[in-house]
Chain A
């Protein structure tokens, strides 16, 4: 009932709709300051002036460095702890598995708001309140049960025979995780890495709640400061927003291109495998 042309039109419509906010952001970021804001949306010439003003207004380099420090620590840690937990959950007896999956679902449903004030007290008590470690802390537990469940899902898809043969070869738990499970789950690792990057790079609430010194601020807080400087200087605000968005946007696009290429290569392999069997007959 829904023909292919209608589907293609629907896809194009969605692509347009979802990229619209980014388009408006980009157009405003490169708009010359002199051009009256009442003139059309399309800038009559493009300029980097707004970015120059951005770096003059705030120590953006420092904030960018802080953001980079946080993701550099949090993303690898997340992959390590989330994949460990997912691996253990996938390999433990079924009754234990069931308990942990259920627990993970329940933790996913706890609103962050409910934990703000008392996490603040916990961080201060263990001495990481006010430091970048307060932003990185969730990475020690895999950042989110969502990531743990993604790894669990990937590891469960691996046929048990593969695990068993590794065990017969004398591989221990860690060796099986590193040499058998992780290489097979590479697409999941890539996905979790990108999602964790997005999560920590864009985290605005943790610095807002747990940091008190401006030299430790990350880019999301920098945007708040920028807004306090000039609420209606839209070209400047959009330049800051675009600066803070460029890295995660690039990563997501690269990850999807990688996934598309991998899919194509896999399809070609399958086709050549079919060809091979064909010629044999």
Chain B
């Protein structure tokens, strides 16, 4: 009876398992393999050896896209996780907590394209609200998205508002910190900072590390939506990122082989992130602790 029950449980896992196989593992294996072929999705793939790799490596746009991607992903990710944690800390209690929760989540709830267009308006160099504010404070008013130097900072500023998922995870993790730990520290005379440093942060360290990795992954996607709609990669390729390189190779030129070869760079980075996450999850037994589940 026991084994029968477990078998039925496994049946409930089937859609999830099949989906991971069909939508994640299979496509990943395909792009791994397609990097060695010339393939336009219309005629049969032809083996090409390492040609795609050398094409990608000699493409100056590829190198540029990797640098831009790193700039647009690595800088905002820690800032966003820090912001999400801070907001969650404040949204834990107090009379305004529900209002704060709603406000922090709202920018993440609107469609990414609507958010992007809102920032097209906010960052408008001449009439946009941001430059009006800067002008009223007699500060310099940069050209933002129209200026090759300021386009990246402009986009990095915009993505700081999209912290919804990290905020929810931090809030849930903070709720899981045993209340008595904090109370005991407070009785011992610990102030708010001491509790944060010696109780909350050690407890949440694995969650925060996981969030950093997850945020880098999310930013890759979010930054593409923004650059695709707002700058198209410009001005002067200042916001041309790896996702755009891959998009144009696969969907504009139907060169799936080259797109897959470029993806290998992404897989290398992802592999590093996965190894990190695996180690963290093992080390701290994330999701498996007896007391509570830390997501």
Contact flag A153-B220 (CB < 8 Å), given A18-B107, A21-B115 = no
Q: Does B150 sit at the interface, judged by CB under 8 A? A: no
| A259 within 8 A of partner (CB) | yes
Contact residues in A for B121 (Cβ distance below 8 Å): 24-25, 28, 234, 237-238
Residues A149 and B103 in contact in the complex (CB < 8 Å), given A89-B13, A91-B9, A141-B18: no
Counted as pairs of residues, one from A and one from B, with CB atoms less than 8 Å apart, the total is 302
Cβ contact within 8 Å between A101 and B288: yes
Chain A interface, number of residues (Cβ within 8 angstroms): 104
The residue on A at minimum CB distance from B119 is A21
Main secondary structure of the interface of B (DSSP, over half): helix
B19 with A141: CB separation less than 8 A: yes
Q: Which of A44-52, A54-62, A198-206, A271-279 contacts B (4 or more CB under 8 A)?
A: A198-206
Asked if B6 contacts A14 (CB within 8 A), the reply is no
* A1 near B193: Cβ-Cβ < 8 Å: yes
Cβ < 8 Å to A, chain B residues 72-129? 87, 90-91, 94, 96-115, 117-122, 124, 126-127, 129
Please tell me if the beta carbons of B94 and A223 are within 8 angstroms of each other in the complex: no
Q: Which residues of A contact B124 (CB under 8 A)?
A: 234
Instruction: Report, as a range, how many residues of chain B touch the other chain.
Output: 35 or more
| Residues on the B chain within 8 Å of A221, using CB | 113
B198 at interface, CB cutoff 8 A: no
Interface string of A160-183 (1 = CB under 8 A from B): 000000010000111001000000
Residues on B lying within 8 angstroms of A by beta carbon are 5-6, 8-13, 15-16, 18-20, 22-24, 26-28, 30-31, 34, 41, 87, 90-91, 94, 96-115, 117-122, 124, 126-127, 129, 132, 161, 165, 172, 191-193, 210, 213-214, 217, 220-221, 224-225, 229, 242-243, 246-247, 250-251, 256, 259-260, 263, 266-267, 270, 273-274, 277-278, 281-282, 286-288, 293, 295
